[in-house]
Structure 1
Amino acid sequence: MNIHHLELFYYVARYEGISEAVRNIPYGIQQPAVSVQILQLEEDLGTKLFNRRPFQLTPAGAKLYTFIQPFFSNVEQMGEEIRGKAGQFIRFGAPNTALRTHCLALLKAMRKKVPNLRFTLHDAIEPELLGLLDQDDIDLAVTVLPPKLPVGTSAEPLLKLPLVLLVPEGHKLKSAADLWKRDKIEEPLISLPPIESITRNFQQGLARLGVEWLATIMVNSVDLIEIYVANGFGLGVTVHIPGVKTHPGLRRVTLDGFDPVVVGALWRGKPTPLIKAFVAEMKLMAVSL
């Protein structure tokens, strides 16, 4: 059976006639077209489904209408429910540090604006988040913006984060310039992988200074950088995130002349109203930091 023919029969049976059905079908279709397709349905089933004048379903027509009525009568309602739920659900991705701090405040604020808000959270680093967006596994990401956006991806810059060195509180280093003066930097460097913007900007800054200092230890989160610096494994390169305290026993050393990284929101395709609302809230939060 042709599903479209069944849909037309549903309207004919519900409104007790073809002419009345045509006036209530939610899309444009002419009466002759409905008549032809109903005849095709009757031919396919090998039986008459209703008497025209006066309108009355045959036993076969009544049986068929009883079968299809629950589905077609609820199609529009289901569409509204799905559209409504889609407008309240978002798949959100960000690095662990962001999820624990500013994203938590963001989600609290959004729940006040969207009381039935539902979400899933994905903890991932910058390159992984771009991949999750590309594969349609998340709707919105907050991370360091890459130098070049993938085709189809849009971004809203939110704030710039300056690069800093993390050193143990008791370390003798007073300024980064003291390191650059050395013939060789002996302290091990702890950093994110080379593909990360923080590492890339740091190494580009070193190159401009004519300094070579490659990572001895690579980790996949700024949280781990703090932990390993605090435990005496070396010095770490990271960013200063407003409102986020460093691990106890550490202090920050500014890196003048090094390009900051830009954190922003990323999404693919046309943003939904919910994505727009999230981005607007993030912009408000960024201004207050």
Structure 2
Amino acid sequence: MDIRRLRYFLVVAEQKHFTRAAEKIGIRQPPLSMQIRQLEEAVGAQLFTRHAKGVELTAAGRVFQETALDIVGRFEDALTQVRRHAAGQTGRLRLGFAGATYFHPAIPLIIRAYRSAYPDVVLSPEQSNTPALLAGLREGRLDVAFIRPPVLEDGLLSVRACLDEDMVIALPADHALRDQDAVPLDAIAGENLILFPRDIGPGLYDSIVSACNEAGVSPKLGQEASQIVSIIPLVAAGFGVSIVPRSVGSIRNEGAVYRPIAGQSPRAPIAIATRTDDRAKLVTSFVISAIQTARRTAPADSTSESG
């Protein structure tokens, strides 16, 4: 017994007439009558009483109709779910966020826009550092990750530029430079520079050190923070100064202020990484949505300053 015969049976039961049912289905009447006879043989009972004006369900036919409606309904639901999943409209997407990327003002907009377009997709977020997230992608524990480039090209990962922002100087609230509108990098020469370990964000770390060197400053590395978000409490406590992505300025701490960098500022790009061989609609639809939303977002450089 196949689902097609059940559908034919339900249409005949609805129309109470073989010719009208055949027209609605889009086949000729004789093949439809044959399909119903074969169905009756398969179930071992007469489902219709035939008469001059059409057909009526027998008692067995009425019982079978209830079951057929349930089976066809479940089958249609299953088809819909499979098709929506194949189209990337349902399922679970495992997202990674590295190096305080979630502080960038465009990231919540990206997530909100995607959830609005795909409300039945469950998002499972994970916060870590870039190397750990890349390992998670390679091992299949993550589907998409917002990371801080550059990434070593190994053929296993696909990396697309998404967002960019400049960096600012984080100072203790009582620092002598706090009243300047912008602070040149050479003004913090000799200061203890608080950074995170290079191995958790090599791209961002190297960008900061390179900018200092180009400004003629040899960074005096001080207290090391376990991660980017841990830097601000250390600055507020007077352990030194730091250079952080502008969006980190959304971390409010009375003991710290943020000032733009005078002259050339190091950049803090954000990229979207996926597995090269992952062509699931769920993943590609997220990447496309994220890139489109990012392009509509105002530059991060225009975000407000604090302090």
Decide which of 114, 119, 126 is 2:118's aligned counterpart. 114
Name the Cα RMSD after superposition: 3.1
TM-score (norm 1): 0.63
What corresponds to 1:97 in structure 2?
A: 100
Aligned equivalent of 1:245, options 218, 241, 250: 250
Query: How far apart are residue 251 of structure 1 and its match?
Result: 2.5
C-alpha contact (below 8 Å) 2:93/2:122 kept by paired residues: yes
Which residue does 1:139 correspond to in 2? 143
Give me the whole-angstrom Cα distance separating, in 2, the residues matched to 1:111 and 1:177.
Answer: 41
Indicate whether 1:150 and 2:157 are aligned: no
Question: Please, which runs of 5 or more residues in structure 1 have no aligned partner?
Answer: 1-13, 16-55, 57-73
SS in 2 for 1:146: coil
**Cα 1:215–1:79, aligned 2, differ >3 Å: closer, same or farther?**
farther
- 1:156-204 superposed Cα distances (whole Å, 9 cap, x missing partner): 1012222222112331124234526x5xx0x322112123222111112
* Residue 123 of structure 1, CA deviation: 0.8
Question: Unaligned regions of 5+ residues in structure 2, if any?
Answer: 3-41, 43-73, 299-307
Contact 1:145 1:264 in 2 (8 A): yes
Alpha-carbon deviations, 1:63-102, whole Å to 9, x = none?
xxxxxxxxxxx99997985674573221110037344665
- For 1:94 and 1:275, the matched residues in 2 are separated by 15
Selected match of 1:190 from 171, 188, 194: 194
Measure, in 2, the Cα distance between the counterparts of 1:123 and 1:114: 22
Determine the structure 2 residue equivalent to 1:204. 210
Corresponding residue for 1:39?
none
Where does residue 279 of structure 1 map in the other structure? 287
AA partner of residue 90 (structure 1): L
Contact 1:176 1:253 in 2 (8 A): no
Separation in 2, partners of 1:150, 1:170: 47
Q: The residue matched to 2:174 in structure 1 has which SS? A: coil
Change (3 A) 1:209 1:170: same
Q: Deviations over 1:234-256 (max 9, x none)?
A: 111211129x6242333323343
Counterparts of residues 75-86 of structure 1 (less than 5 Å): 81=81, 84-85=84-85
Say whether the 8 Å CA contact 1:230–1:247 is kept in structure 2.
no
How much does 1:106 deviate?
Answer: 2.8
